[in-house]
Structure 1
């Protein structure tokens, strides 16, 4: 029923499509006309049609599927990380840490100071701020940094982008990308520009393309990139820093979510003279997702903008939570648990990778939560076969920015909590599913 679309401006065309969707004239999954066809049909400039489709995508009315065209979006929930609900299948795509390797709260709770914090007091606990500065400063080239505390990494990235960008600004995202970053950019009304990731991190060509597209911010994960698990090589980081040297005011957001669990040394795209940057270190992977706290080290200007974005909302992260986090980060017993967790993830992933290699499937053994496995064939088909065998995995398509549905060959597998027997069974079932 696309012939019923009307309008001469982007806003009018978008409103026409929304009305058709509301009335049920256009149904979920229906393909809208290509931009050129719609422009000719309505006798408008092609850029007007492009802008209309962008408005519809930002509002969640449509979704782009590459060569599959622009389609009316359904009401299904967006893909999210974490356990799948309402399934009897064994979930090996969750991306969750092992709850048995999260430091217990009881010892840290007993060490908390009980003085209440009142309005007008500093928003960051002084002891946590000093500890965070000592943690982050050695890994940043710029000498002048500020420390902010947010309610997790996603909260930090959302507020950092909101403080630096306006609607329709371009943001460089890794491709494939962390699901929350994709949603944050989409819901913020920004334009995502994909930067392909290979075995050494973001490709130089991908970064150059993003900069040529006028991105005002890039979001990157230098270690244990989600979903691929790739850690950027020092050589690649140096090459990317050289490219970024000509763009000192592009906001670089580094999401170092795996920090304390990573066996690799920190690497960074933030050069000594870069003017806008943020290093974000959440504690969720090693102290548990429910802790909801991230340390953000930034340049002074970005710190000021971030504080402005915090002031009308939550204002500050609970000092009780800040003190609890600091207690866990500094208590020797908790530190030993975190060290054991790092070893556990690396060892269990390596064991599963060896099983796959012995069965003819190449898989990297990475110190990340999950493994990124190239099946060499349609990941969608492999995942469907795995479901028949009792397993639930995630496909590459869920994390891709600009690829046609069904084109991915990778699956993300979270296997660190499987027993040896279960790992062997999954490896056998994966091989059977590929074949």
Structure 2
């Protein structure tokens, strides 16, 4: 390939600006106009700083802003290059596959309540401009739901949004500006990764262990100046970890020194969870929000979440949800309320939560018997440690008829990809679970042998 060095030099000469934002905007314009194309190299930081007569840190900040927006990628000694249109991992079924999909992250469609009966009773008078954005019935039910799990006497207001992702995006937008740092769990929920990336914020990874977000990780993130923390208090996706009472108390003690850092708790699994709720939000914390969506127990198409937050945060959210623009349909709110207060539906939700836990526990026991020790955790998925490269194991599983999701899709940190799979297995029957456990054991063995592992894992045979 012949490179026109003079053309490249001409493009680089078009970069201008004195501040990080101005430099980033200049580069963004060159990318948008096609003057810089995917794969093109940007000048080294020192070269760009000298060319523009700015401090080296200003050039670093400009590249960091572009990186947070997904427009450029930094590859160490290979430099910084314009990013291509890389595919973004999403939850849900894989399209056009003949394989058995065990990476969906979906609830069981058969265990989502039938809304037909409730729909007949919600079509009352129409709602017009200027009316309250929260339906009174839903507000009363949600207030009791939220108050039950938050510190007594903590002042709060409710907001209704189009799902948890919508709530988190609006919460960050009303509190942060581009390139602000946000603490995210690592590994992390896909929607949170996308929300932070699209908003142009800077993710700071906080490791997760079996008790949830780590204290040392949160402390380190706060020392790096994060302005918001997003935490999953139970059924963390993808790991299934839930905060213990002790861990939550330790995290609250750390956050007590940072009362104005926005703490967002995404309790996505809520009514399905088999674990108690322990909050990071202390009684004196000033900026906080607890978000609970209904998608896991009423279905992903029921795009509604309730957010309880401090009055100032609620006021800012309300300005983004004014009637006539983006308030959530009152028909949808009434439907959620009608289902939530139906005793038969409530019993079905409890049964669904118990079902997911039982299937995950059975699968974890099968894997443990195979020499792959696994804890079921909480939630819709099982987080499986492999002791082998995840992508290689996924390829081996595909040969055996399974489509799995590798753990590196959920990773934030720049270290080695986690040797993990996140599997959704609750719709498999007992025989299918046994076959998957056997196939996964064989796939791990094959992947380890192919990678040249000195001591291949000894895996038991399934009886």
**Any idea what the Cα deviations from partners look like across 1:89-142, whole Å, max 9, x if unmatched?**
211111000000001011211222411111111111111101101001121115
- The Cα shift of 1:333 comes to 1.3
Q: Which residue is 1:209 aligned to?
A: 220
**Any idea what the Cα deviations from partners look like across 1:349-380, whole Å, max 9, x if unmatched?**
00100110000001111231001111112111
- The Cα shift of 1:22 comes to 6.1
Say whether 1:427 aligns with 2:450. no
Q: Which residue is 1:138 aligned to?
A: 148
Say whether 1:107 aligns with 2:113. no
| Shift in alpha-carbon separation, 1:316–1:50, aligned structure 2, 3 A | same
- The Cα shift of 1:151 comes to 0.6
Aligned residues: 433
Q: Which residue is 1:414 aligned to?
A: 424
1:334-349 matches, within 5 Å, as 334-349=345-360
User: Which stretch has the larger CA shift, 277-286 or 121-130?
Assistant: 121-130
Say whether 1:198 aligns with 2:218. no
Q: Secondary structure at the match of 1:347?
A: helix
| Shift in alpha-carbon separation, 1:397–1:21, aligned structure 2, 3 A | farther
**Any idea what the Cα deviations from partners look like across 1:151-177, whole Å, max 9, x if unmatched?**
100000011111111122111111111
**Any idea what the Cα deviations from partners look like across 1:402-424, whole Å, max 9, x if unmatched?**
225x6221110000011212111
Instruction: Say if 2:119 and 2:335, in contact at 8 Å, map to a contact too.
Output: yes
Q: TM-score, normalised by structure 2?
A: 0.87
1:53-72 matches, within 5 Å, as 53-64=63-74, 70-72=80-82
Aligned equivalent of 1:182, options 174, 193, 196: 193
Instruction: Say if 2:356 and 2:379, in contact at 8 Å, map to a contact too.
Output: yes
Q: Secondary structure at the match of 2:154?
A: coil
| Shift in alpha-carbon separation, 1:392–1:68, aligned structure 2, 3 A | farther
When Rg is computed on C-alpha atoms for both structures, the one with the higher figure is: 2
Q: Secondary structure at the match of 1:148?
A: strand
1:1-16 matches, within 5 Å, as 4=9, 5-6=12-13, 7=15, 9=17, 10=20, 11-12=22-23, 15-16=26-27
CA distance in 2, matches of 1:79, 1:103: 28
Q: Secondary structure at the match of 1:139?
A: coil
Q: Which residue is 1:273 aligned to?
A: 284
1:347-426 matches, within 5 Å, as 347-404=358-415, 407-426=417-436
Q: Secondary structure at the match of 1:143?
A: coil
Say whether 1:127 aligns with 2:137. yes
| Shift in alpha-carbon separation, 1:227–1:118, aligned structure 2, 3 A | same
**Any idea what the Cα deviations from partners look like across 1:177-217, whole Å, max 9, x if unmatched?**
11111111111111111111111111111111111111111
User: Which stretch has the larger CA shift, 424-433 or 16-25?
Assistant: 16-25
CA distance in 2, matches of 1:360, 1:102: 34
CA distance in 1, matches of 2:134, 2:25: 44
Say whether 1:51 aligns with 2:64. no
Instruction: Say if 1:284 and 1:291, in contact at 8 Å, map to a contact too.
Output: yes
| Shift in alpha-carbon separation, 1:275–1:297, aligned structure 2, 3 A | same
Aligned equivalent of 1:95, options 102, 105, 116: 105
Q: TM-score, normalised by structure 1?
A: 0.93
CA distance in 2, matches of 1:375, 1:34: 39
**Any idea what the Cα deviations from partners look like across 1:295-348, whole Å, max 9, x if unmatched?**
111111111011012228743111111110011111111111111100110000
| Shift in alpha-carbon separation, 1:212–1:287, aligned structure 2, 3 A | same
Say whether 1:311 aligns with 2:322. yes
CA distance in 2, matches of 1:375, 1:37: 44
Name structure 2 gaps, 5 residues minimum. 446-463
CA distance in 1, matches of 2:48, 2:95: 40
User: Which stretch has the larger CA shift, 303-312 or 155-164?
Assistant: 303-312
Q: Which residue is 1:164 aligned to?
A: 175
Q: Secondary structure at the match of 1:291?
A: coil
| Shift in alpha-carbon separation, 1:427–1:32, aligned structure 2, 3 A | farther
Q: Secondary structure at the match of 1:149?
A: strand
Say whether 1:261 aligns with 2:267. no
Name structure 1 gaps, 5 residues minimum. none
CA distance in 1, matches of 2:59, 2:388: 36
Q: Which residue is 1:241 aligned to?
A: 252
